[in-house]
């Protein structure tokens, strides 16, 4: 996969992160052991640890210092995905049954809680009050974003501002944090930390908008889950907000998106109306703006291999189909 090629500069260290995660999640309880192994084997892009390591490469890179941070961030991310799948009643992720589909909601929630607890164990070992405070603040805001998403379900009157509030907390904060902590743990100065954090934040916004576009346009086999999931769950995304502004289809789309129980035919009708409205194209224009903004923040940093990799990763985020 293209994103794996872009992490070539840190490929060996990223493999070490994977091995350490595997060791760290070993547990005697047979159920927790099975669920944790299942999640790790599901893979994932491991983008957040990758961004942490690449960000550190610009400064005084020490893998041993970055390792617990990279692991903690990935565990927090994994925990949120497990909890999201329970809240969204998702049956598949990355082409495999979700934890909830295989083990049930109770075991899934307990596994997510366990992952959060293990992340806390790592944070304590980092022994840096500033890092602990930043991780705690971001974790709180992520939970607030999830609550906001639940509160706004089926609300067809959402504004773009409300949407950005939500995805900032849902996705952008953790990606920004990955880059920010990579810089902090590698002794970057305050300006450099801000540059890395802003790069990651802009990329996170773009990443989530692309996710929301793919939920409407992707090939389900490539995406690893059925399209139209947000429509079924009442999650109003940017393509939908733009589509609702289209006078030709807005009334019918309002009816479809606000329905709490939809037939599969109604879901597919909503998908087609969003595609026809120009909402996808407008959303892609926003993605391009955020990708360009992210890349601009890298040009103050040294022209090393990591900068090229981060630029290419930003471009990958904008172009990805999964």
Model confidence at 4, pLDDT cuts 50, 70, 90, reads low
Range of the domain at 284: 2-319
| pLDDT tens string 181-240 | 999 999 999 999 999 999 999 999 999 999 999 999 998 888 877 889 999 999 999 999
Crossing angle for the helix pair 63-88 and 47-56, to the nearest 10 degrees: 150
Q: Model confidence over 147-161: pLDDT tens digits?
A: 998 999 999 999 999
CATH (domain of 90): 1.10.600.10
Q: What is the pLDDT of residue 79?
A: 95
Distances (CA, A) of 16 to 19, 56, 254: 5, 16, 49
**Tokens 């999201």 identify what position?**
84
pTM (predicted TM-score): 0.93
Q: What is the DSSP letter of 93?
A: E
User: CB-based contacts of 226: which residues, under 8 Å, 6+ apart?
Assistant: 92, 220
Structurally, the chain folds into a number of domains equal to 1
Q: State how far the Cα of 214 lies from the Cα of 228, in Å rounded to an integer.
A: 9
**DSSP state for residue 98 in the 8-state scheme:** -
**How would DSSP label each residue in 18-86?**
HHHHHHHT--SSHHHHHHHHHHHHT----HHHHHHHHHHTTS---HHHHHHHHHHHHHHHHHHHHHHHH
**Cα–Cα distances in Å, from 306 out to 174, 189, 195, 278?**
20, 18, 14, 36
């Amino acid at each position: 996969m293209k994103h794996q090629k872009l992490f070539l500069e840190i490929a060996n260290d990223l493999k070490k992160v994977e091995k350490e995660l595997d060791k760290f999640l070993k547990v005697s309880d047979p159920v927790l052991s099975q669920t944790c192994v299942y999640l790790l084997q599901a893979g994932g892009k491991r983008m957040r640890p990758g961004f942490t390591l690449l960000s550190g490469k610009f400064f005084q890179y020490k893998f041993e210092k970055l390792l617990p941070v990279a692991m903690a961030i990935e565990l927090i991310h994994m925990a949120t995905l497990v909890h999201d799948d329970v809240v969204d009643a998702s049956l598949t992720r990355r082409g495999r049954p979700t934890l909830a589909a295989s083990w049930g909601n109770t075991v899934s929630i307990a596994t997510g809680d366990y992952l959060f607890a293990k992340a806390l164990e790592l944070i304590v070992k980092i022994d840096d009050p500033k890092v602990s405070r930043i991780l705690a603040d971001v974790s709180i805001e992520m939970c607030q974003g999830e609550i906001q998403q639940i509160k706004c379900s089926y609300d067809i009157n959402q504004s773009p501002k409300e949407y950005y509030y939500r995805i900032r907390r849902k996705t952008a904060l953790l990606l920004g944090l990955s880059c920010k902590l990579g810089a902090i743990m590698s002794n970057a100065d305050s300006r450099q930390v801000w540059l890395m954090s802003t790069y990651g934040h802009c990329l996170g916004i773009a990443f989530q908008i692309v996710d929301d576009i793919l939920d409407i346009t992707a090939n389900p086999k490539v995406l690893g889950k059925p399209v139209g999931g947000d429509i079924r769950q009442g999650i109003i995304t940017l393509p939908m907000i733009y589509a609702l502004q289209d006078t030709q289809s807005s009334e019918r789309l309002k009816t479809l998106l606000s329905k709490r129980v939809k037939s599969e035919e109604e879901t597919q009708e909503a998908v087609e109306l969003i595609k026809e409205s120009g909402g996808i194209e407008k959303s892609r224009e926003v993605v391009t703006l955020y990708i360009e903004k992210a890349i601009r923040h890298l040009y103050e940093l040294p022209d090393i291999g990591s900068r090229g990799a981060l630029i290419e990763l930003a471009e990958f985020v904008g172009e990805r189909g999964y």
